[in-house]
Every structure is written in C-alpha cells, then in structure tokens.
Amino acid sequence: MTKIDLRLADGDVLLPGVGFRRVDVLVADGRVAAVTEPGAGPTATETIALGGLTVLPGACDVHLHLGHGSDISRPRQPSDADTETAAAAVGGVTSFIPYVMSTTPYAPLFDELKSITEEGARIDFGFHFVISTDEQLAELPRYITEFGVPTAKLFMNIRGDEGARLGLPGTDDGFLFRLLEVLKAHGGMLCPHPENIEVAWVLRDRVLDADPAGAGGLATWNATRPPFVEADAIRRATYFGRVVGAPVYTVHTSSAEALAAAVEQRHQGSRVTIETCTHYLTHDTTSAVGALAKVNPPLRDPADREALWEGIRNGDIDTVATDHIHRPVSSKDGGIWKAQPGFPGLDAFLPALFSEGHHRRGIPLERLADLVTANPADAMGLSPRKGRIMPGGDADFSILDMKSRWTVERSGLATDAGYSVYEGQEMTCRVVHTIVRGAFAVRDGKLNDGARGTGRFMPRRLT
Ligand SMILES: [Zn+2]
C-alpha cells in the first residue's frame, strides 16, 4: 500500500473531462495517487482542509523571459530564477517555459543554463530557444531530440540592424523557411514573434513626425505597429508552416485582425496553436498605465480586446500566457518613445485572468482554466505530467479562493522588477496555495522559502 503524504480535502477540484467536483486528492511521492470521495481512502501524513476552495491543475505559463536587470536574454545567476519563479508561484504558476536568447550556439551553454536555473527555481521549467544564426540552425536537431527543447522562436521583426538592441543578428524569410524545414524534419514547432518591421519603420517615422512628444501615449505606440503589421506576419509564418508541414504557435496574438489571420490559416489546413497574453485581455490603449505598459505587439484598441475575449469564448484561442519580462522600472522612463517594451505579469496572472474573464465577463472557469493548464501543457509537450489532475500526473495545483477581494500593491510583488501594470486594481479572486510536485511553493498566500532550488528542468517532446 502506497504511503499517502498529503490529502487535499474538500476542494472543488477540476477533473479532466468531468468539470468541478467536491472530492479529495491524495498525493504520494510528488504525484497524484488517487482522487477519492471526501474522506475516503487511506489516511495521509498531512491533511489540508480546503473548505470548498477551487483546486485547478498547476498553471503552465509557456511564454516569459528570464534574465538579470536590463539583460533579458537568459538567467545568469540563481537569483534570476529565484525571484521570478517566486512571482510565478504567487500568481498560481507551477511550471513555466522562458525564451532564452543567445547569439552563440546553445549546446555549450545548456548544462550551465539548466544548473543555474535549477539552483534558484521554486517551480519546474523548460526552455524555448531563440534561433537566429546558421550555427544554431545546424544544432537545432540536437536541441529537439537530445535536450528536450523542441520549440524555436524566430523574431520575424528583427531584420537588418533592428536586432542591435537585443544583440541579435537580422534574419529574413529565407531563414524562416529553412527553420521551418528543420523543425518539420525533427518534430519541432515554430514560435514566431510576428511583426512586419519594414512596414512598421515607415509608420514609425510618420507617427514620430505627427507626435514627437509622444503625447498620445499607448495609442501612439499602437499606431507605429498596428494590427495589420502583426496580421501580415502571422499569415506569412502560418502559410509557410503549411507549405513546409511544420506546426506554428502564434505567441502573444494581440488584435482582432491577427486572430482572424491565424484562424483563417487554420481553416486552410495550417497546424496553428493560438496564444494571447493576459495584458491584451485586461488592458487597451485607453488604460491609464502609460508607458509602463509599452509592449510589442502594442496594447490595442478596446474593440481588439473584446475580439480576443470572443476568441476565448468561441474556442479560437488556445492558450493564455504572461510574456513576463522583469525589466527594472527605470527602463520605463522617458515617455512612450523611449521606454523599453515589455513588463512583468506573473504575480497577478491567474487573479487577473479569472477576475476579468470569469467574474466580470461570465466565461466558465473550466474554459479559462484550460487555457492556462491542459492546453499549454498539450501544445508544449508537458503532458501528461503537467496540465491535468489525474492519477500518475505530477501533484501540481493552483488553489484559489474565488470569493476573495484584494488590491494589487507594489509591496506585495515577488518579481524583482518591483512594479505591476495591475497596481491599484481590485482582484476578485486570490491564489491561496501553489503546490509543485506535492510541496508548497505558496502556502496560505505566503511564499515558502523552502521551495527555492526545488524546481527541475523538464525535457519536452511534442506529440
Ligand atoms: Zn515574449
């Protein structure tokens, strides 16, 4: 008889193919041992009475960036993983997949990358690699089959010297095509950053002439890289994906037009998984956050935001991620033209999504939960260990009080960026416990520092 380490008693538990049920979940050796009627089955070493709290599979945030200070390319010291996995745990996340950037091949970096991250990580993690050189392209089959890194990002917007800011060389559509061929041949998937930068450059010059002081704020930034610039690149990447026969995962889909382009290509036969990010659902160009919320693709008009919610309602959108970047707040100085793009989003991830989507808009919690659990786990090769509460799977749980009201404050954030676009906003649910392989990363709303260094790298294989 298996020794049961933990019983999660009396929660409303989301079970795959069933929905919410009042059951107990039994945990042994970091895995789900059984799901039982309340009180049934063997006694556990520890029992946590949940009193009707909502128990979801641990959330998987499959789009974010780790780094240090203004360098977002990769974790370079264990504290980079420590603070940002703490933010993840606070936001209900039990596993995540950061994008790692380098101009040199990843094979010589891989062991160090893994060990530095494991030393600090409080949750499990994988990696995506940004591919931008021929040397990396030559090594890509090893990344997929040997390292368990089957997902490759291409910045379609980095052409010519545009990449200097990120330290990346420019690529072109020929590179995109060859990258898709290698991914197809070895079982990988493309995650393109889709923006037609050549057109965006033209628009930027015009908008800069019209609004040199950036008085239009987020609307001005949106005008420099509007939805059609995004839709064009999504159409191109997913069309080439179909020609080559490789799957494409559209990261941070932000607009009605971009969503329509991806859906249209899906109907034509492209294998497309569609992601949007929390901030495109909670913010738009009329939000009063200013340059703090500058990001690429930009925050869009309110009508785009509504179109994304409709895409969630009707099932067109598959996943929601954060695109968390823990840039220091000083990088946001200087107004809309000077501020660096991107901001942190992990700390408030599930509360923001569920407050806005479930409480304000009435979308069933099961649907919203799938977007951050089973769907990303399936898309990114984390299943069957992650993404669903079922015997044999990892005992990862996001446990929420769906009736709690609280206001996001800077003092409560765990990210070392130290700010949030949600500051001052009232949330209508709260993460109470975050459990990773049976151990508490967050307990009763407080970080458990014993979790530091327990997160493990997860090699992935796409199905
Ligand atoms: Zn990103």
pLDDT in tens, 118-131: 999 999 999 999 99
CA of 17 to the centre of ligand 1 (A): 31
- Tokens linked to 300: 């869009």
384 part of a folded domain = no
Residues 312, 367: contact at Cβ < 8 Å? yes
The CB-side HSE value for 12 (13 A sphere, CA atoms) comes to 10
- Report the DSSP beta bridge partners of residue 64: 98, 324
Q: Same domain, yes or no, for 44 and 69?
A: no
Question: What mean pLDDT is predicted for residues 172-190?
Answer: 96
pTM: predicted TM-score of the whole model, two decimal places: 0.96
Question: What mean pLDDT is predicted for residues 271-287?
Answer: 98
Q: Same domain, yes or no, for 313 and 400?
A: no
Question: What mean pLDDT is predicted for residues 295-301?
Answer: 97
- Tokens linked to 47: 């029992």
456 part of a folded domain = no
How many domains are contained in the chain?
2
Q: Please say if the pLDDT value at position 181 is more than 90.
A: yes
CA 347/CA 91 separation, integer angstroms: 4
Q: Which of 320, 346, 379 is the last residue of a domain?
A: 379
Q: Same domain, yes or no, for 28 and 83?
A: no
Q: Same domain, yes or no, for 34 and 89?
A: no
What number of helices (H) and strands (E) belong to the chain? 14, 21
CA of 373 to the centre of ligand 1 (A): 19
CA of 342 to the centre of ligand 1 (A): 8
The predicted structure's pLDDT at residue 433: 98
Instruction: Kindly tell me the sign of the dihedral angle through the C-alpha atoms of 461, 452, 35, 45.
Output: positive
Residues 290, 267: contact at Cβ < 8 Å? no
Residues 2, 44: contact at Cβ < 8 Å? no
CA of 50 to the centre of ligand 1 (A): 35
Question: pLDDT tens for residues 19-42?
Answer: 999 999 999 999 999 999 999 999
Q: Same domain, yes or no, for 365 and 422?
A: no
Q: Same domain, yes or no, for 111 and 222?
A: yes
Pairing of strands 430-436, 439-443: antiparallel
Q: Same domain, yes or no, for 321 and 443?
A: no
Secondary structure element (H or E) that encloses residue 79, with its range: helix 78-90
Q: Please say if the pLDDT value at position 166 is more than 70.
A: no
CA of 191 to the centre of ligand 1 (A): 10
Containing structural domain, residue 215: 59-379
CATH number, domain containing residue 294: 3.20.20.140
Q: Which residues surround ligand 1, an ion (CB under 5 A)?
A: 323
Q: At what angle do helices 256-267 and 227-244 cross, to 10 degrees?
A: 20
CA of 181 to the centre of ligand 1 (A): 23
Q: Same domain, yes or no, for 362 and 407?
A: no
Straight-line distance from the first to the last Cα atom of the chain, in angstroms, rounded to the nearest whole number: 33
The predicted structure's pLDDT at residue 30: 98
Question: pLDDT tens for residues 37-83?
Answer: 999 999 999 999 999 999 999 999 999 999 876 788 888 888 889 99
337 CB burial (10 A radius; 0-12, 13-18, 19+) = middle
The predicted structure's pLDDT at residue 162: 66
Phi, psi values for residue 189, rounded to 5°? -140, 140
CA 118/CA 30 separation, integer angstroms: 17
Cα separations (Å) of 352 from 32, 356, 413, 446?
A: 28, 6, 14, 18
CA of 375 to the centre of ligand 1 (A): 18
Q: Same domain, yes or no, for 85 and 188?
A: yes
Residues 289, 283: contact at Cβ < 8 Å? yes
- Tokens linked to 268: 């034509």
Cα separations (Å) of 200 from 47, 157, 159, 354, 382?
A: 56, 9, 12, 34, 35
